[in-house]
Amino acid sequence: MNKEFLKALLKRIISSLITLFLLISFLFILIRLSPGDPAQKYLSAEFSPELMKKVTSDFNLDKPVFNQYIIFVVNIFRGDLGISYNYRLPVLTVVLQFLSFTFVFAFLSFIIQMVVSFYLALKSIRNPGGLFDKIVSKFSLVAYATPAFVLGLFLIYIFSVQLDLFPSSGSKALEFDSFSFAGKIGDYFWHLTLPLITLSSAGIAMFYKYLRDNLEDTYQQNFILNLRASGYDEKIILKKHVLPNAIRPLLSVAGIELGILLGGALITEIIFGLPGMGRLMMDSVFSRDYPLVIGCALAAGLLMIISNFIADLIKMKIDKRMIKGLMN
C-alpha cells in the first residue's frame, strides 16, 4: 500500500507541475503578444530616445518574445521573478505584501462557508421537505445565482450608506495604530464584515447544496437502513457513518474553492478597496506590469494546486480507493 501511495503521490505532483507550467507559459505568451509597450508610460517628450532604449533594455523588452520567455523561466528556477515596473521592487516582495491579507481574508471566508453550510445542511436534513429545508434551499439558489458585485453594492448601499453601520471600503481605520490588540482585532472584523458576507454567500450556498444532497443520498443507502433497523442511535449513525461518507465528495470542491479564495477574490477586493491579491492582479494587468502579472498568476496557480493537492491527500487518507483512482 505504501508503494502504491508513493506512486500515486508522485503522479499527482507531476500532473500539478505540468498544469502550472502550461498556465504560466500561456499567460506569458498571451501578455507578451498583446499590443503596446509598458516602457512608454515612464517616458515623455522631455526624455531622449536613448533613455527609452535603456529602459526597454533593462526590462528585456528589446529581445524577441521567445528569448524573454527563456530568460523568465531561467529566472524562475533561480528564484528571481523580476522587478515590478510600478513598485520598483522585486515581484516576490510585492506579492508577499498583498498575499498576507488574502491569506487571512480567504481562510476567514472558508471557515465561515464550511461552518454555516454544515449547520444549515444538518438542520435541513433532520426534516427533509420541511419549512426550514424549503426556505434555506430557495435562499441558497438566490445566493448562488447573485453576482458578487451586485451583492456587494447592495450591502454597501444598505449597511454603509443608509444605516451607516459598517465602513464601505478599506481593511482598517485611520487610527488603527493607536488601538489596543483587542481593538485592532475588532476593527478588522468591523471592516471585513460586509466583504466576508459578499465573498462567503455563494460558497455557503454551494457547500450547503453539496452536503445536503450527499447527506440525503447517504441516509438512503442500505447499510444506513440496516443500522437503523438494528436499533443504533441516530447521533452515532450520523457521526460515524453518514458524515464521513457525505463529506468525501465535498473535499474536491472544498480544495478548489479554497484555491480560488487564496488566489484572490478579485471582485470583492475591488468593490471594498481591500489590499489583496485579486486587486493587485487587476492593477498589474491594467498598468501592463508584466513581471507582476506573471508573479500574481504564479502565486495564484501555486496556491490552487497546493490546496487541491492537500485535498487529495486527505481523501486518500480517508478513502484508500482514491489511491487507485489517482493511479489510473
- Structural domains of the chain, with CATH: 91-319 (1.10.3720.10)
pLDDT at 92 over 60: yes
pLDDT, mean of residues 13-24 = 80
Percent helix / strand / coil, the chain, rounded to 5: 80, 0, 20
Q: Confidence band (pLDDT; 50, 70, 90) for 38?
A: low
pLDDT of residue 248: 74
pLDDT at 226 over 80: yes
Residue 90: strand pairing partners: 83
pLDDT at 313 over 70: yes
What is the rounded CA–CA span in Å between residue 72 and residue 28? 9
pLDDT at 238 over 90: no
Least confident of 131-140, 186-195, 215-224, 239-248: 239-248
pLDDT in tens, 139-158: 998 988 888 889 999 999 99
Q: Which of 304, 292, 291 is nearest to 279 (CA)?
A: 292
pLDDT in tens, 40-87: 555 454 556 666 666 666 666 667 777 877 877 777 777 777 788 788
Residue carrying C-alpha cell 506573471: 294
| Beta-carbon count within 10 A of 107 CB | 13
pLDDT of residue 45: 47
Sign of CA dihedral 36, 74, 80, 299: positive
What is the rounded CA–CA span in Å between residue 267 and residue 203? 14
Higher per-residue confidence, 263 vs 207: 207
What is the rounded CA–CA span in Å between residue 196 and residue 198? 5
Helices and strands: H and E segment counts in the chain:
14, 0
Q: Which of 71, 44, 46, 45 is nearest to 57 (CA)?
A: 71
Residue carrying C-alpha cell 482598517: 172
What is the rounded CA–CA span in Å between residue 307 and residue 299? 12
pLDDT at 235 over 50: yes
Q: Which of 255, 257, 250, 261 is nearest to 309 (CA)?
A: 255
pLDDT of residue 325: 52
- Residue 44 three-state SS: coil
pLDDT at 100 over 70: yes
- Residue 221 three-state SS: coil
The vertex-305 CA angle with 83 and 72, nearest 5°, equals 30
Residue 293: strand pairing partners: none
On whether the pTM is more than 0.85, the answer is no
